[in-house]
Structure 1
Amino acid sequence: MTVQRRTLLSAAYDNLRAAVLNGSLAPGSRVTVRPLTEQLGLSPTPVKEALAALEREGFLISVPHRGYFVPEVSTEDLLELYELREAIDALAARRAAGATNHAQIATQLRRLLVRQRKAIKANNLYSYGDLDLMFHRLIWQGSGSRRVIPIAENLIAQVRLGNRFSAQAPGRLPVAIEEHVAILNAIDDGDPDTAERHIRHHVHEASQALRRYLRSSGAAGQPRQS
């Protein structure tokens, strides 16, 4: 792939991914090539490649003979996702805290924490969402498990969608930051039991924030894009 082609693909991918996450492309929306080429000022090829990449990652679904659609995710789906995340993140945090390089992992997490605080101060939820995913991804990678990483990575789109809603619960982000502090401190101390306990608490609290947000927004079964 040439540099120019890679750059165009990246531009198409980034724009479409952002549109799904910020609600510009709402759940259930059909995503077609021609309007996107006009909107983004790109040729059909990078747009088609970007759509295929987003479908592989779960940001879009492909319906035979109809094209791509933004997935509709129910409240029950999202809450089930958090149950899966709790189990996966608990295993990853335990292993990361027990790793020989646990202090280096904590150092990387601490750097991300600084950037997360800046995103919150700027009220940039989109940036915070990326940084939150990076925080958890570092823990997945720090686990050293060849199986944890692909399972967790397969949940990326759903993780971001769930975080998007839970982050909007009033007062959630400052609390989430302190939960991140507790997790990284346990990893820094090389304490697997405490790291697992804190990350389970963190994911559970995120799921409760999601439940509160959906209840207060009036969404009974289907999350609303705001």
Structure 2
Amino acid sequence: MVIERETYAQAAYRAIQRMVVEGELAPGSKVVVRPLCELLDLSPTPIKTALAALERDGFLVATPHRGYRVPQPTWADMREIYELREVLDGIAARNAAGLERPEEFVAATLKPLYERQQAAAEGADLVAYSDIDLEFHQAIGHASENSRLVRVMENLGGQFRFASGSSARVPGRVHTAMREHAVIMRAVAAGDAERAEREARAHVRKSAAAFDKSVRANGVRSR
């Protein structure tokens, strides 16, 4: 019975996550248990478990006595996150390019992630795309061999995954982002630390611009 309940909760998690990432649940909207039960044909228990997990992962925010809602960050909030990510991703890519055999790291770790993300992009699966996007960036972080940098990246993971899903809704952004990932991989594999850092930072700046375009279309506050 425990396994069955966990399976229902996982199914609810994925379904609600998809609604958030694909914009069916708009930024700022309230997330109510009863309609989700009816929509997903599930009891309240797995729905509540899923909502709590989504809140922990940064896809929802909880308000005491008022339940959950989809995050509606201001652009000022996200600017802070993207500024941090630009620096962190730049350092991570630079250090990864400085590995003893960076081409082996790219072939064994980044290329498989890239191929999975490409398949998700071609299948228009924005949830899988954003999940793998986070894995791709965190893999570079781990390769940097900077444990403090990794911890900070992981703390921002949920918020950045939400941003990734939102920016992916901008027409053409997914395929452009994939090309940027390919450029970063080539720079890392070549051991070109300066170029790897430059391209990683440029990628984050372009992602920030795409996120800005996406959330403003949904009426996000600028402050």
RMSD between superposed Cα atoms in Å: 2.6
State the SS of the aligned residue for 1:62.
strand
Consecutive unaligned residues of structure 1, counting only runs of 5 or more, are: none
Query: How far did residue 49 of structure 1 move?
Result: 1.6
Q: Percent identity?
A: 44
Q: Does residue 10 of structure 1 match 2:3?
A: no
- State the match for 1:159 in structure 2: 160
- TM-score under structure 2 length normalisation: 0.83
CA distance in 1, matches of 2:15, 2:80: 28
1:15-66 deviations in Å (ceiling 9; x for gaps) = 1111111112112222222222222222222222211111112211111111
CA distance in 1, matches of 2:218, 2:46: 38
- State the match for 1:149 in structure 2: 150
- State the match for 2:111 in structure 1: 110
Q: One-letter code of the match for 1:157?
A: G
State the SS of the aligned residue for 1:71.
coil
Q: One-letter code of the match for 1:207?
A: A
- State the match for 1:53 in structure 2: 53
- State the match for 1:137 in structure 2: 138
- State the match for 2:96 in structure 1: 96
Higher mean alpha-carbon deviation, 96-105 vs 47-56, is at 96-105
CA distance in 2, matches of 1:214, 1:41: 30
Indicate how the Cα distance of structure 1 residues 179 and 68 shifts in structure 2: closer, same or farther if over 3 A, else same.
Answer: same
How many residue pairs match? The answer is: 221
The answer as to whether partners of 1:105 and 1:139 remain within 8 angstroms in 2 is: no
- State the match for 2:179 in structure 1: 178
The answer as to whether partners of 2:73 and 2:220 remain within 8 angstroms in 1 is: no
What does residue range 181-196 of structure 1 map to in structure 2 within 5 Å?
181-196=182-197
- State the match for 1:27 in structure 2: 27
State the SS of the aligned residue for 1:73.
coil
The answer as to whether partners of 2:21 and 2:126 remain within 8 angstroms in 1 is: no
Query: How far did residue 89 of structure 1 move?
Result: 0.8
- TM-score under structure 1 length normalisation: 0.82
Q: One-letter code of the match for 1:116?
A: Q
